[in-house]
Structure formats: C-alpha cells, structure tokens
C-alpha cells in the first residue's frame, strides 16, 4: 500500500521534501497557509553541498541552467578597501538564483493546497496516525472562506442570544417554549460552526516545513523558543549596473554588513544587515536603507538607490535558540527552518533544507518509516546544529561588532588571512554526501 505524507509549508524546503518523498514512492499532499503560493525573499546562494542535494532531488541541472555561477570576489571594508580577495577553488563557486525562479523549478506542475493554515499537530504515539488540524479561511481575511466564517460567527452569536436570552411573546395557539431544547440547539450550532471551521487530516508521515514559526514544532516541541538576533535586514533585486560585482562580494562595517551577487535575468541581489530594534519599520524603506549605509562605498549606495520601493523587503533576523535533540516524533519530522532556523550569515539556511529533503527521501526508500526517522536524526542533527553555531559566531564578528578597536582588529585579521585558508576551513561545510554514497 502506498504510504502517505502531509507536508506543511510550500516554501523551498517543503517543495524539496515533496520531491524527495515522491521519488521514494510516497503519496504527498502539500499544504500552504497563504492564499497563494509565493516565494519569500529575493535571491539565494546555492553552494556545492546544496547543489549536490538538488541533484538528488532531480533538479540540479535545471538550477545550473538558470542560475549564475561565480566565484566569490572577496570581502571589503565599508569604504571598499579589499580585506580578502582571490577565491579560486571550484568548491567555493556558488550558483545564485532568484528565489522565485528556484521556487518555480522545485514546484513544477505540483498542486499545492492553499489557505490551509495548520493550527495543531499530533504524532503517531499510542497507535494513532499522525495528523494536522487546519483552520479554513484563516489565511486571507478577504477570502470567501473567511467571510463565510465571519458570518457563521455572527449567526452563532445570534443563535446563542435567541437560545438563552430573548423571550419571545407567545401568540394564541403557539406551543410552549422549550428552554432546554433551545439551549441544546444553541450548543449544537456552536459545535457545527467549530466543525466547519476546523478539519483534521491524517497521514503516515507529517513533515513540518513551515519555517521558524512552525506550527508543527510548536505543537510537538512546545518548549523550543526563537530568539531575535538584534539585527534587521533589507533585501533588494536590481538590474546589473556598471559597478555590479561579477561574483558574491561582502562589505563589513561597524554593526552592519552589506553583500551583493549576480543572479539570473541579468540582475543583482543585494542584502544589508544592521543592528536595530526589533519590529522597526519605515514608511520609506529605501530611505531607511540609504540612511543606514549613507557613508559606505559608492557601489553600495548605487545599488540601494536603484531599487524600487516595491522591490525592497525588510525583515528582522531570528533564529531557533533551542537546539533540538531530535528532529522527529513518531510519524512526524521537521525539515529546514522548522528544525534548525539559523542566521543567514553562513549562507546555509536554504542549502541545509535541500540536504534535509534529499536525505529524508533517500532514507525512506531503503528503510521503514521508524528507522528512516532515526537515521535522519543521525545524519542531520549534529551537522545542522554546527551550521547554527558557526552562523551565530559569524554574526558576533560581523554584524554585532561596534567597537572601532575590535572592528580594526577583525579587519586586520582578515587582511592577513589568505582566501585559500578560508576556503580550506569551509570544506567541511561543502562536503555533504548523499546517504546513497555512505557506507
């Protein structure tokens, strides 16, 4: 009998997991809370390990065809002076692509069930099947389902009042009022509204791919907590300029960093991180980014200025503060940010999600479900949590460093460290091996 899976979340991790499981012969449903499937963010750098995982998922060549392959151009000061240059190792090359393009490749012609906001999940302990509870019409306040839900709530209130508070006048020939029957009718009406609003779906496996605020994780790992990094980031995509880089380039300043790289469509993806209060937003985010980087290198300012107001994204940077000992429960598993949300300073959030998806699919081909989930932990927990730790360490060195003396010391150390040494130090990260090739 074909085994079934419900994947919560239609982002890059969820769509990758769907490909992995289908290749293993599973029947898959992908649920998305939003009213429409869309890719969040701007660009993404796919490193060697992520590309190897995408090969396992059957889309590596399609990504190579659309993405821009380049070697890092190095690290610079905020004024544009070089700190570390000359990256030459093939393993350091990245394939940079717009998230929308990658999302399109991963989705293909897949059906995604939208407007399916998961509010709870249960595992398969006690002999029951794993399940998720969804709330209809909760994602879009203007959807038909949401409007119907508001009408049902109003009817419920009216029904309660009619059942318990309004004493109608008896006309001649009317039957006596049965107050108990009216109260029962009111309770039945409330129950009917609840049943119409919520639905429980069961499967052999539930995959939580619903990001850092995962409803699946909150239901089954309730003690796990997230943490604000102290920094915000602006993201933008512009057409390539005369001073645009040919490969990934990073600038480091005091309490801030800026990066950019070429992506598909003759475009450049840029990002700027800076220390900021949580939840801060501006009416004009272009102006806010310009204020933050107003004295940086000219090319930094040029790329921000070339961005349209509709084309800039701002979001605070969070990570999963709790290191989970296991990424699975009976019949439930977490992938991507739901399991190990890390800061973007290492550039491995998306790549590790591709590894998760490929690993899970391969293990489910060759093992029982229970054994596959045990092996998944062995393959993924230690590696991804090392990513999390390194990303946090880089954030402390780059974005959070404000002291002029410490910034000067950091820059001096980078200036003395050959790019080759950095490449060698990162080899462990790029050397992901498929479970097919491990003994």
pLDDT score at 113: 94
Tell me what the mean pLDDT of segment 312-319 comes to: 96
Both tokens assigned to 10: 């239609």
Average pLDDT, the chain: 88
DSSP 213: T
pLDDT score at 420: 78
- Number of Cβ within a 10 Å radius of residue 29: 17
- Any long-range contacts for 404-407 (C-beta under 8 Å, 24+ apart)? 404/254, 407/252, 407/253, 407/254
Residue 426 vs residue 208, higher pLDDT: 208
Cα(237)–Cα(247) distance, rounded to whole angstroms?
15
Both tokens assigned to 25: 């012969």
Both tokens assigned to 56: 């396992």
Per DSSP, the three-state class of 339 is: helix
Q: Please state the φ and ψ torsions of residue 399, each to the nearest 5 degrees.
A: -70, -35
Tell me what the mean pLDDT of segment 396-420 comes to: 90
Residue 99 clears pLDDT 50, i.e. is over it: yes
pLDDT score at 165: 40
Are 328 and 124 in contact by the 8 Å Cβ rule? The answer is no
Least confident of 28-37, 136-145, 305-314, 348-357: 136-145
- Number of Cβ within a 10 Å radius of residue 438: 7
**What confidence category does residue 437 fall into, taking pLDDT thresholds of 50, 70 and 90?**
confident
Are 427 and 48 in contact by the 8 Å Cβ rule? The answer is no
Cα–Cα nearest to 360, from 249, 207, 185: 207
pLDDT score at 159: 46
pTM assigned to the model: 0.86
Least confident of 82-96, 269-283, 312-326: 82-96
- State how beta strands 4-8 and 205-208 pair: parallel
In the chain, % helix, strand, coil (3-state, to 5) comes to 45, 25, 35
Cα(379)–Cα(59) distance, rounded to whole angstroms?
22
Per DSSP, the three-state class of 436 is: helix
146-172 per-position pLDDT tens digit: 455 555 555 544 444 444 343 444 455
Percentage of the chain lying above the pLDDT 90 cut: 72
Residue 284 clears pLDDT 70, i.e. is over it: yes
Residue 329 vs residue 140, higher pLDDT: 329
Residue 418 vs residue 67, higher pLDDT: 67
Both tokens assigned to 2: 């074909």
Both tokens assigned to 14: 């969820």
**What confidence category does residue 182 fall into, taking pLDDT thresholds of 50, 70 and 90?**
low
Tell me what the mean pLDDT of segment 282-304 comes to: 96
43-61 per-position pLDDT tens digit: 999 999 999 999 999 999 9
Both tokens assigned to 155: 């009817």
pLDDT score at 57: 97
């Amino acid at each position: 009998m074909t085994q079934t899976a419900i994947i919560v979340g239609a982002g890059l991790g969820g769509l990758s997991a769907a490909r992995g499981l289908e290749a293993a012969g599973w029947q898959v449903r992908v649920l998305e809370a939003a009213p429409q499937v869309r890719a969040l963010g701007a660009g993404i750098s796919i490193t060697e390990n992520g590309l190897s995982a995408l090969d396992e998922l059957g889309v590596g060549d399609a990504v190579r065809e659309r993405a821009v392959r380049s070697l890092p151009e190095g690290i610079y000061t905020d004024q544009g002076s070089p700190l570390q240059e000359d990256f030459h190792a093939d393993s350091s090359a990245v394939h940079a692509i717009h998230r929308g393009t990658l999302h399109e490749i991963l989705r293909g012609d897949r059906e995604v069930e939208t407007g399916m906001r998961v509010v709870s999940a249960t595992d398969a302990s006690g002999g029951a099947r794993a399940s998720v509870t969804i709330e209809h019409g909760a994602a879009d306040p203007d959807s038909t389902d949401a409007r119907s839900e508001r009408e049902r709530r109003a009817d419920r209130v009216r029904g309660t009042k009619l059942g318990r508070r309004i004493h109608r006048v008896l006309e001649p020939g009317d039957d006596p009022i049965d107050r108990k029957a009216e109260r029962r009718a009111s309770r039945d009406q409330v129950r009917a509204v609840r049943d119409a609003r919520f639905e429980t779906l069961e499967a052999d496996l539930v995959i939580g791919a619903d990001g850092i605020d995962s409803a699946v994780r909150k239901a089954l790992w309730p003690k796990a907590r997230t943490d604000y990094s102290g920094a915000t980031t602006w993201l933008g995509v512009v057409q390539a300029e005369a001073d645009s880089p040919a490969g990934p380039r990073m600038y480091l300043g005091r309490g801030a960093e800026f990066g950019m790289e070429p992506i598909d469509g003759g475009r450049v993806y840029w990002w700027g991180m800076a220390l900021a209060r949580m939840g801060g937003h501006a009416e004009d985010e272009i102006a806010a980014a310009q204020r933050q980087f107003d004295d940086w290198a000219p090319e930094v300012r040029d790329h921000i200025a070339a961005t349209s107001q509709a084309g800039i994204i701002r979001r605070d940077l969070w990570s999963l503060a709790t290191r989970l000992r296991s990424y699975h429960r009976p019949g439930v598993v977490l992938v991507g940010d739901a399991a190990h949300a890390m800061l973007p300073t290492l550039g491995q959030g998306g790549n590790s999600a591709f590894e998760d998806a490929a690993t899970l699919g391969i293990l489910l081909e060759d093992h029982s479900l229970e054994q596959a989930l045990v092996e998944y932990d062995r393959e993924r927990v230690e590696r991804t949590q090392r990513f999390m730790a390194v990303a946090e360490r880089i954030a402390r060195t780059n974005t959070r460093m404000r002291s002029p003396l410490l910034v000067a010391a950091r820059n001096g150390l980078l200036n003395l460290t050959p790019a080759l040494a950095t490449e060698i130090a990162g080899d462990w990260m790029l050397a992901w091996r498929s479970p097919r090739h491990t003994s």
